[in-house]
Every structure is written in structure tokens, then in C-alpha cells.
Structure 1
């Protein structure tokens, strides 16, 4: 597939605010002496993927530090492993899929989403043309190996949903945890797995190398709407144990302020701004490819960080499609998220 041409118009008009924001780290260092609120550790599954871009921008642009907070990001191969790190006390907060919050409540663990980063799964399913040259439809994946970041992660759920929609059962395939980044790509190219469900820019890179065919795509709002039928599907979020909210409310507010600030920056950022702001390693050696991938998912980032009123119920309903036992689960949805911190952040940054 030819690489998409990304123009400045496609990314929106670059405002003076967005240009100045690229220089924020230097300004912050000049204005802030140390992190007054101390250190918070955030666990992430696949730090370099676009799914976590708001977190990456808030960190790179110095938005956390201007709030008086030092944020340390710990990267894990998958979202399920990142949540495990929080559960075990190795991290304070997790950046990951909202469905992890719901699953935790079913297990009797009290987690709460603090701010929404994405409103669509931002994931795609690709088939290796080397391993399955005669591929016709999803039915051809029966008995095959599908790579996901890890079993139990959002990539696993997304692939399962696509299979169910095609009339298959998740039990008809073998899911293999392949991590993220080059490990995930190599697993597909080497034949370790026949298909891969993952995030961008990984899937765009595989697709543009012409050895992978995208057969399931959840990287747009339209695709997400087709998946859920009705309602809004929350995806990437920053979530934490209820105990963190109770013991460190100032730190929680500072985290949300940083993410909301980054989401506002994304509304007007141009391509030059983006490639300057994100760490070079995230570009995977190809700025054009990264920008093409970003163009595909840009609309799916939350414009303001608010959890939609129908979001938690929609997410639980979708989760029950692949885990029917959850349909009868008693989850107090109002306790799975809070919009209070986001409302305060929106007032501060006029979002």
C-alpha cells in the first residue's frame, strides 16, 4: 500500500501555542526548581506505540514537571503486564486499556480511570502473506497462531472480537504473546505467528512493507462505532488503584492536568511539532511512516479527557462478547472512573 501523504492541513493549523509548547521542557526547567509533589511511577505496555501518545507528549513536553510532578515511566511488553506491575506495587499508575479496570473490578480489585486518552481501540489485525498466501477471509485463521502483545491484553480482546464478529470462537485459534516493537514484527515475519493484532506505528510499518495484509481495522471512530453498534467505547486511559486517589490526590490531579494539557496540544499540533516532541526512537527510523500512522488514529484521541457517560457500560457489554460470564457480573460502573479531576484540568487549560 503506498504511503499516505500527510499535509499540514491534515494535521490542523499550527498555532503559536503549539509551536511554543515544543520548547516547553526548557521553559519548565527555567521556571520549576525540582518536583514539589515528588515522584510517581507509571507502568505502560509498549511505550512507543501511538496508543500511549498523550502520556508520551505530557512527559516529553514537560507538562508533568510544570505541575510539580516527576513522572517515571516503566515500559512493559503488554498492558496486562503493566497492570500486574501496579498490582504488585512496582508502579503507582497504569496507562492502558479501560477494560483492564472492568476486569479488575470483577476480580474484586478497586481501580479507577482518571482520564481518558483514546475513544477507539486503535488496533489492527494483519495476516502474513508469506505464511498464508492463499488467505481469503478470517475463517482461514482457524487453527492458526495469532500474535498479541500478551494474553489478556487489549490486543487479545480486539483480535477475539474480530473473530467473534466473523462467526469464529477465540478458541478456534492459538493466541501467542509476542510483546511489542520489533519483537512483535519479527514474530510475524519469521512465521512464529500467522497473524498479528497490534497498534500503530507497528501495523502501518508492516502494511507498507507489502508483506502484511490488514484484515481487521479498529483504528478509526467509524470502525469503533461499527464494532459497538451503539454507545461510545473508551479505550486508552490512565488508571490507578482507589488507594492512590485517596492517599495522593494532588499527584493524581497533576497527572490528569498533564494529560489534558497534552490532549489540548494535539488538537492543533502540526507534523513538524509532533516529530520534534516525541522521542526519536518512537519514529522507528521513518518520520513519514510515523506521521502516516498518526494520521490514521488522530481522530480517536480524546479531545478533552472526559469519560463518556455511556462509556463504561458499552465497554462491559463489548467485553462480555468474548467473556460471556461477564454479562452477569455485578460491577458498580460509577466506581470504575471519575471525571472530577478532568473537569478541574479543563478549567485550568480551557479545554
Structure 2
């Protein structure tokens, strides 16, 4: 009996050795600086379309209200990548930390500076920011960077206006309604909710390339997938898989209507108004880059913007070549 059991055990081991190995999907964690924001739509869309799985990746998406908190998680090594604004790569390099954009989602911020309707007749431009309290997602966030630049570039020093961290979505809207902020920088679908509800008006629109060039002096690459430079170099195969999935997603956005894209997203992202969501996305699709490639003129514009008010950036020599890479997008073949 013992000999029989032994033979069965040996046989089972032999069969196990001959059977093809079953590989589990490679696990990764990405943090998104506001999952419901349309500017970061490629992250959730890639998941919903199954493009991560298609590449053999098991990607967990974690929602974080502010990009500045997301970058802290990346630097701490608790996540492998962040879906957030490219400008953090420059800000962090000035502080001795190296991260880079691997896939560039957009060439404009996709952000809007809104002003409360109670002040709409008095505030006509950033020159009127003096004495105002303006909402941003977080202190040190990209919305904070852009708001400060708009003020400084129109003669208002950062000390003459107040930035208040109020997040996005419902918390931003509540801050406007309660008078805690006079206006602020936010994105869709929050913009449409505020305007349609009569609570705010658009002051500065940074969604289209034309308006971005007008207010910021050039294209301003924003939403991206950024990762630590050292991690990218030591995990090239994984980074390529992620890049394949995201570039395919950007191609999907470019070749499908706003209504078709909206149909793929969670219904709670519509904030109860699907029609407004579709309309906003139809106008906002122009922000996305179909092939995920960084526009050459973009990084110098971002550096110029940050250097105008951020003393840490202005006082350091920034190597822009280390803030992004096109190695992986160049290797993608969209099918």
C-alpha cells in the first residue's frame, strides 16, 4: 500500500513538472489624482476596456484627491506609478527626486479657473485675484501651481492671494456655495455642475491648445503616467506593457465618440447628469494626445511656468530630459 501511494505521488509530481506553468497576472498599483476627473479618464477606461488584462497585468487603481499626495506615495515606494500632472516631475527634481512621464495623456491642463457668480462682475482676469481665496485640490498640487502662475503673470504676488485646499467634485462645489472660496481651479465634470447650477462662471479655460497657449505661453503637457526613473529602468518589460495599454486607450478615445466613451465609464462618474458629462467630454477630448508622445515644446513651457513663482525650481538647474521618456511609446504598435 505504501509503495502504491509513493508511486502515485511520484507520478503526480512528474505530471506537474510536464504540465504548462500557469502565470498569474503581474500585480501593480497605480494611484490616480482624482479618478472621476475627465482629465484622468484613460486610467479607468483602460481598466474597463480590459487593456491591462490583455497585457497580462493586474492593475489596482487607487483614488487620491490631490496629485501632491499621490506623488508622495510614489516617492515613498508604496505604489509603482501615478496618473497625475507632468509638472510634478520638474518640481520633484528641484528637490532631488527623479520621476518621469512615461506616457503623456494630454498636452493641455484640461483645467478651468471658475469664479463665484457673486463676484463675476468684479473679477474679470487674474489681475483681480488680489485678496481672493481660491480653491485648489491641495497645496502643492498642479491646480495650485497653475493658479499661482496666473496671478503672478498678471502682477499679483502669491502672498496677495490665498490658496485653499478643497479637493474636487462635491467638496469643491460645497466650498463655492458656502462662500469658503471665491473661485478656483477645477476640471470636468465639476465645471459643468457649477456652471449649470448657476454657482460659478468660467473665467479662464485651459482645455484647448489655443487657450492654453494664450494663458500659459505654449502647450502645457499635464495628465500623464509618471514613475520613478530608477524603477522604470529596472522594470522595462512591465513599463512597456503599461504603455501598450494606455496608448491603446488613448487611440480608443481618439477614434470613438464622447457618447461611446461615456458608456464605458462607471455611472456614478456622471454625477447624476449623463448628458452634461457627454457634452463636457466632447469638448474636452481635444486635450488628449492620441499616441501618448510628449510634445517637444511642452516641457520648456512647464519649466517656465513653475520658475515664475516656485523658488525651489527657479534656483535649480533642471534636466528636462530626465522628466519624461518617449522610449516606450515609440515601441507601441496599436492594433
Indicate yes or no: 2:42 matched with 1:42: no
The CA deviation at 1:324 is: 5.0
What does 1:82-161 correspond to in 2, within 5 Å? 82-130=70-118, 132=119, 134-137=121-124, 138-161=126-149
Is structure 2 residue 225 aligned with structure 1 residue 238?
yes
Asked if structure 1 preserves the Cα contact closer than 8 Å seen for 2:123 and 2:129, the reply is no
2:163 is aligned to: 175
Q: May I ask how many residue pairs the two structures share in their alignment?
A: 314
* The structure with more radius of gyration: 2
Q: Deviations over 1:132-182 (max 9, x none)?
A: 365242444322211100011111112112212332122211111011221
- For the 8 Å contact 1:46–1:181, the answer to whether it is kept is no
Q: 1:136 to 1:239 in 2, by over 3 A?
A: closer
Alignment partners' CA distance in 2, 1:134 and 1:270: 36
Q: Distance between the aligned counterparts of 2:224 and 2:294, measured in 1?
A: 9
Residues 1:35 and 1:94: Cα distance change in structure 2 (over 3 Å): farther
Matched, 1:201 2:189: yes
Give 1:71's aligned residue: 59
What aligned pairs does 1:1-351 form with structure 2 within 5 A after superposition? Answer: 36-130=24-118, 132=119, 134-137=121-124, 138-230=126-218, 232-323=219-310, 326-345=313-332, 348-349=333-334
Once the 2 structures are TM-superposed, how far is the Cα of residue 37 of structure 1 from its aligned partner? 4.5
Mapped to 2, the partners of 1:308 and 1:36 lie a distance apart of 36
CA contact (8 A) 1:143 1:173 kept: yes
Determine if contact 1:120/1:218 at 8 Å carries over to the other structure.
yes
Q: Which whole-Å CA distance do the structure 2 matches of 1:64 and 1:34 have between them?
A: 18
Shift of 1:95: 0.7
User: Structure 1 residues 64, 305: CA separation in 2 closer, same or farther (over 3 Å shift)?
Assistant: same
For structure 1, the 5+ residue unaligned runs are: 1-32
Residue 18 of structure 1 is matched in structure 2 by none
Q: Quote the offset at 1:334 in angstroms.
A: 1.2
> What CA distance in whole angstroms lies between the structure 1 residues aligned with 2:30 and 2:278?
26
CA distance in structure 2 between the partners assigned to 1:136 and 1:331 by the alignment = 35
> Are residues 211 and 331 of structure 1, via their aligned partners in 2, closer, same or farther at CA, if it must alter by over 3 Å?
same
TM-score, normalised to structure 2, is 0.89
The range that moved more, 269-278 or 110-119, is 269-278
Mean Cα displacement is larger for which, 211-220 or 161-170?
161-170
Structure 2 distance, partners of 1:313, 1:133, is 33
Contact 1:37 1:250 (8 Å CA) reproduced:
no
- 2:176/2:199 contact within 8 Å kept: no
- RMSD value over aligned CA atoms? 1.9
Work out whether residues 119 and 221 of structure 1, in 8 Å CA contact, stay in contact via their aligned partners in 2.
yes
Moved over 6 A (4+): none
